[in-house]
Amino acid sequence: MAVPADPPPGAGPEGDPGYLASLRTGTMLAQLRRAFLGLLAVPVGVLALSPYIMRVETHTVDTPPLWACAVIPVAAAGALLLARRLPAALPVRAGQGGSRLSASESFRAGLFLRFALTEGVVLLGLPLAMAADSFLPMALSFCLGYPLVLWTGIPTRSTIEQIRARLEADGVSSGLWASLLAPYPKAGSGADPRSSLSLQSGRTRPERKAGPMGTYVISGAASGIGAATAALLRGQGHTVVTVDLKDADVVADLSTARGREDAVAGVRARTGVVHGLVPCAGIAGLTGVDPELVVSVNYFGALALVKGLRAELEAAGGASAVLLSSNSVTCQPGWNADVAAACLRDDEDGARRAAASADAVEVYPATKAALAYWTRREAVKDEWAGAGIRLNAVAPGMIDTAMTEGLRRDPRLGVFADAYPSALGRPGRPEEVAATIAFLLSEASSLIVGTVVFVDGGTDAILHPMKPEGMRIGRLALGVMHRASAAATKLKALRGKR
């Protein structure tokens, strides 16, 4: 049985600024707390009106019969006992975190039931007072029942924590705080304000409003583009759960089935709701790199996270995943179509077999092509767009990261590192790709679905000025072209030094 870990910073009780301060925020929690403030006024109103409801002219604070007062503490004890047992623990269901789909609903139902039970104690005083011809039962029920309402029936931090513990009693992470601290959609935004708590399913799932406190999962976040994206999102106030081989919240090897399971389980233990996912971990097809490993990390490792966290993305009530393709798909000739085809059949063994007889450098763009095709093929389906999850990809060009440092050092392929043309005359920075990823994660890109965005300083545009269907050029010719281009770049650099 999995033991839920503490929620990550910002998605736990420490993200709650307190009952009154939270009312000024635009979160689901603030909305709920405002509603409960209104409900709290009901018993006070009933108490204030009771002299008018009863025949005030004939009944005062006469000593009531004992039975009229004895019923109240019994009812209060029963209500307290029942209320503290609500809601029931989330069921552990098979499959991809399916149990989490009902977490927010269970919370809301449990809270309202607690409120109804304890408020029932207060209201019980009214008929008793009428039957006993005395105001005392009403006063007694208010004095006993109202503290119970405050203690167990309104969403204070400790009540939420108590309910969270009950929901997670079977070891299922609820992601409750992440739901409650998520932004509440404004009226007129087209979004269903209940979406992030009610988690209903259907084609027309609303988009989540962009705002602070979203929870994002990024693999490969220990370095390069993943690290830049994590820093950018954290800077925007979001919670980021990182996955990598090292220096990450969840340390896991995405090249193996076991590592992928650990990665998904590790994320689930930290959050039940994922607003955005960037499966960024990848390896280059350099000399000496196992081409089969390239397949397993780049394609199957990335999709294991996307598919494995689908339920958590759906639970956000409007989420986005941005996959990392590459402009090598259109700019590097000769990539291995068999590898890409096997990937797209979800046949890891077949893709690895096809890769084994190829060069890693041909396999890398094949995995990135497969990711781009998968994104386009799947994004429009009910399972994704229909469930409020937008899938898109970015296709970076030459970006200055540890990966491209490795390429520059490669004895055989290093010559190509700076050979590709760029309209900007420079490689990209990881932050520039991160900015595009953050845009695709945000609601600012709410209409973008199944798209591959080139972030390459114009390389693809230069190489394909007219025809979008691809470039047919002999490998020999391309090799000559690259070498000439590399020589020209070096010459330019030498001239610059003088």
Ligand X SMILES: NC(=O)c1ccc[n+]([C@@H]2O[C@H](COP(=O)([O-])OP(=O)(O)OC[C@H]3O[C@@H](n4cnc5c(N)ncnc54)[C@H](O)[C@@H]3O)[C@@H](O)[C@H]2O)c1
Q: Where in 395-414 is the site for ligand X (CB under 6 A)?
A: 396, 398-399, 401-404
Interior CA angle at 112 toward 23 and 156, to 5°? 40
Containing 353, the helix (H) or strand (E) segment is helix 348-356
210 vs 280, beta carbon nearer ligand X: 280
d(CA 53, CA 55) in angstroms, rounded, equals 7
364 is catalytic: yes
Q: Decide if residue 207 touches ligand X (CB under 6 A).
A: no
d(CA 49, CA 141) in angstroms, rounded, equals 15
Find the shortest distance in angstroms from Cβ 482 to ligand X: 16
Q: Where in 261-290 is the site for ligand X (CB under 6 A)?
A: 280-283
Find the shortest distance in angstroms from Cβ 360 to ligand X: 12
Whose CB is nearest to ligand X?
224
- List the one residue out of 262, 270, 272 whose CA is nearest residue 312: 272
For the four alpha carbons of 320, 469, 422 and 282, in that order, the dihedral sign comes to positive
135 vs 373, beta carbon nearer ligand X: 373
Find the shortest distance in angstroms from Cβ 426 to ligand X: 13
Q: Where in 33-62 is the site for ligand X (CB under 6 A)?
A: none
Annotated catalytic residue within 216, 299, 364, 420:
364
Residue 352 contacts residue 290 (beta carbons within 8 Å): no
Find the shortest distance in angstroms from Cβ 402 to ligand X: 4
290 vs 443, beta carbon nearer ligand X: 290
Find the shortest distance in angstroms from Cβ 399 to ligand X: 4
Containing 371, the helix (H) or strand (E) segment is helix 360-379
Taking CB under 6 A as the binding criterion, the range among 14-22, 91-99, 197-205, 214-222 that sits at the site for ligand X is 214-222
Q: Decide if residue 315 touches ligand X (CB under 6 A).
A: no
Directed axis angle between helix 224-235 and helix 430-441, to 10°? 50
Phi and psi at residue 374, in whole multiples of 5°?
A: -60, -45
Alpha helices (H) along 54-189:
66-84, 103-132, 136-152, 157-167, 176-180
28 vs 221, beta carbon nearer ligand X: 221
Q: Decide if residue 329 touches ligand X (CB under 6 A).
A: no
Find the shortest distance in angstroms from Cβ 454 to ligand X: 10
The pair of three-digit structure tokens given for residue 144, joined into one six-digit string: 């006993």
Residue 392 contacts residue 440 (beta carbons within 8 Å): yes
Residue 189 contacts residue 210 (beta carbons within 8 Å): no
Taking CB under 6 A as the binding criterion, the range among 130-138, 224-232, 349-357, 481-489 that sits at the site for ligand X is 224-232
Containing 239, the helix (H) or strand (E) segment is strand 239-244
Containing 454, the helix (H) or strand (E) segment is strand 452-455
Contact mark string toward ligand X, 85..124, x via CB under 6 A:
----------------------------------------
The pair of three-digit structure tokens given for residue 259, joined into one six-digit string: 């590592």
Q: Residue from 50, 104, 173, 223 that binds ligand X (CB under 6 A)?
A: 223
Find the shortest distance in angstroms from Cβ 227 to ligand X: 7
Contact mark string toward ligand X, 338..377, x via CB under 6 A:
----------------------------------------
Which residue do the tokens 């990135």 mark?
368
Please list, in sequence order, all residues whose beta carbon lies within 8 angstroms of the beta carbon of residue 28, skipping any fewer than 6 positions away: 179, 180, 181, 182, 183, 184, 196, 197
Q: Residue from 132, 254, 311, 452 that binds ligand X (CB under 6 A)?
A: 254
16 vs 460, beta carbon nearer ligand X: 460
Taking CB under 6 A as the binding criterion, the range among 160-168, 219-227, 372-380, 462-470 that sits at the site for ligand X is 219-227
d(CA 375, CA 390) in angstroms, rounded, equals 10
Containing 440, the helix (H) or strand (E) segment is helix 430-441
d(CA 233, CA 214) in angstroms, rounded, equals 9
Find the shortest distance in angstroms from Cβ 396 to ligand X: 4
Which residue do the tokens 């209500």 mark?
79
Taking CB under 6 A as the binding criterion, the range among 48-56, 217-225, 355-363, 462-470 that sits at the site for ligand X is 217-225
Q: Residue from 118, 229, 326, 442 that binds ligand X (CB under 6 A)?
A: 326
43 vs 282, beta carbon nearer ligand X: 282
Contact residues toward ligand X (CB under 6 A) are 219-220, 222-226, 244-245, 253-255, 280-283, 297, 301, 324, 326, 396, 398-399, 401-404, 430
Residue positions annotated with a catalytic role:
364
